[in-house]
Chain A
């Protein structure tokens, strides 16, 4: 219980410190706030190691138990070991090591780009499926998207001059209103969540 109380107290004090520094603008609070943020970065780095251990542990288990797709797991473990080895061996330049940079630039980035390139097909398929569902909201969203696309075409703006004004109106009035409403809601939700952590009503950091 004492451990829980101490952890809660620490969380509340540090949250108050980090919230007070930009709000009150007191220069005296800046060094301790910066120190806390540095601690957070260090803890984040350790959490990353924990994450990599979790990932590798899962794939090692799959390889050992010969589960479906274990060959892919072997490839993942091998790639992770090779890239980490290149970046960590004595005398290596870390992330600036040419072999590591090569792996990122010529393997990882193109692979990610290829996957994201599928988005265009997926969005058309999703729009078609949602229109078939006869949902009024989806129809309005698709109509808005099509209107923006069409009104932006230079030929349309030349042949029908009000298109440019309509395009601008869509952005300035309905889209801006929706966006502001959404952001206002998110800000209020964030405030509620942050206050429940600050008041100790919700303690996600305790096991």
Chain B
């Protein structure tokens, strides 16, 4: 009961902050994400695709991933829109049926905005599950150079193969993850890694007022939790 009330209160706080802050500027900086907007221009100039991976999870219960996959989709959405407008070839890849369906919905939204043209836009299921996906992505990157590889969402230990191969080939590599057991692999192989909450925050960039409001609300809430923990610790509870 206490947990339910706490979560409801947290939700109400986020909602109220969303209403209060949506018209204000929020100036949080997030290093790796701020570099990303330059890649569509590189891709268009070099004719090399931008590879946006939604990870190896899905959004269904059995597939795992859930909100991490959605956070990855939110991040990919902003970058995909920019790439599409600049004419850079784009590949959105997934490893589960549900993530593929979401990626295809995003592609349909992009192509509808440009009168139905789909040249240069690929949505692919590279393999079903972690290791087949990694094997297919390794084969793909060996055949075709990529202007950017963005691997965000849920991954297993196979990330090490993906990340290290991309790093050796000199591909601009960005990653985002939420799993504590996989983050060391991502940090080791990938110079620009979004850790945990940063992945969710990254999705808010480029999403206008609502994105900024969500980011600001999450930041305020985080400070509230930190203060609460400090207050409880000071009170000896």
Question: Are A51 and B4 in contact (CB-based, < 8 A)?
Answer: no
- CB of A136 closer than 8 Å to a CB of B: no
- Which of B158, B196, B204 is within 8 Å of A115, CB to CB? B158
- CB of A169 closer than 8 Å to a CB of B: no
- CB of B89 closer than 8 Å to a CB of A: no
Residues of chain A in range 118-136 having any CB-CB distance to chain B below 8 Å:
118-119, 122-123, 125-127, 129-130, 133
Question: Given A122-B161, A204-B77, is A190 in contact with B97 using a C-beta cutoff of 8 Å?
Answer: no
- Which of B109, B163, B204 is within 8 Å of A207, CB to CB? B109
- CB of B46 closer than 8 Å to a CB of A: no
Render B211-237 as a binary contact track against A, CB cut-off 8 A, 1 for contact: 000110110011001000000000000
Question: Given A44-B97, A183-B180, A191-B221, is A202 in contact with B210 using a C-beta cutoff of 8 Å?
Answer: yes
- Which of A44, A127, A185 is within 8 Å of B197, CB to CB? A185
Question: Are B74 and A51 in contact (CB-based, < 8 A)?
Answer: no
Main secondary structure of the interface of A (DSSP, over half): helix
Question: Are A126 and B160 in contact (CB-based, < 8 A)?
Answer: yes
Q: Which residues of B contact A188 (CB under 8 A)?
A: 197, 200, 218, 221-222, 225
Render B173-188 as a binary contact track against A, CB cut-off 8 A, 1 for contact: 0000010100111011
- Which of B164, B180, B210 is within 8 Å of A179, CB to CB? B180
What is the size, in residues, of chain A's interface with B at 8 Å between Cβ atoms? 62
Question: Are A204 and B70 in contact (CB-based, < 8 A)?
Answer: yes
- CB of A1 closer than 8 Å to a CB of B: no
Main secondary structure of the interface of B (DSSP, over half): helix
- CB of B61 closer than 8 Å to a CB of A: yes
Question: Are B160 and A196 in contact (CB-based, < 8 A)?
Answer: no
- CB of A84 closer than 8 Å to a CB of B: no
- CB of A194 closer than 8 Å to a CB of B: yes
Interface segment out of the listed B7-15, B24-32, B33-41, B145-153 = B7-15
Q: Which residues of B contact A118 (CB under 8 A)?
A: 161
Chain B CB within 10 Å, residue with most, of A41, A52, A191:
A191
Q: Which residues of A contact B180 (CB under 8 A)?
A: 179, 182-183
- CB of B139 closer than 8 Å to a CB of A: yes
Residues of chain A in range 14-56 having any CB-CB distance to chain B below 8 Å:
23-25, 37, 40-41, 43-52, 54-55
Q: Which residues of B contact A72 (CB under 8 A)?
A: 139
- CB of A90 closer than 8 Å to a CB of B: no
Render A164-207 as a binary contact track against B, CB cut-off 8 A, 1 for contact: 00000000000000010011111011111111110101101111
Complex A-B: 25 CB contacts under 8 Å: A40-B60, A41-B60, A41-B61, A44-B61, A44-B62, A48-B128, A68-B143, A115-B134, A119-B157, A125-B164, A182-B178, A182-B195, A184-B222, A185-B197, A185-B198, A188-B200, A188-B221, A189-B196, A189-B199, A190-B67, A192-B217, A195-B214, A201-B214, A202-B210, A206-B105
Residues on B facing A (Cβ under 8 Å): 1, 4, 7-8, 10-11, 14-15, 18, 58, 60-63, 67, 70-71, 73-74, 77, 94, 96-98, 100-102, 104-106, 108-109, 112, 123-128, 131-132, 134-135, 139, 143, 157-158, 160-161, 163-164, 167, 178, 180, 183-185, 187-189, 191, 195-201, 203-204, 207, 210, 214-215, 217-218, 221-222, 225
Residues on A facing B (Cβ under 8 Å): 23-25, 37, 40-41, 43-52, 54-55, 58, 68-69, 72, 112, 115-116, 118-119, 122-123, 125-127, 129-130, 133, 137-138, 141, 145, 179, 182-186, 188-197, 199, 201-202, 204-207
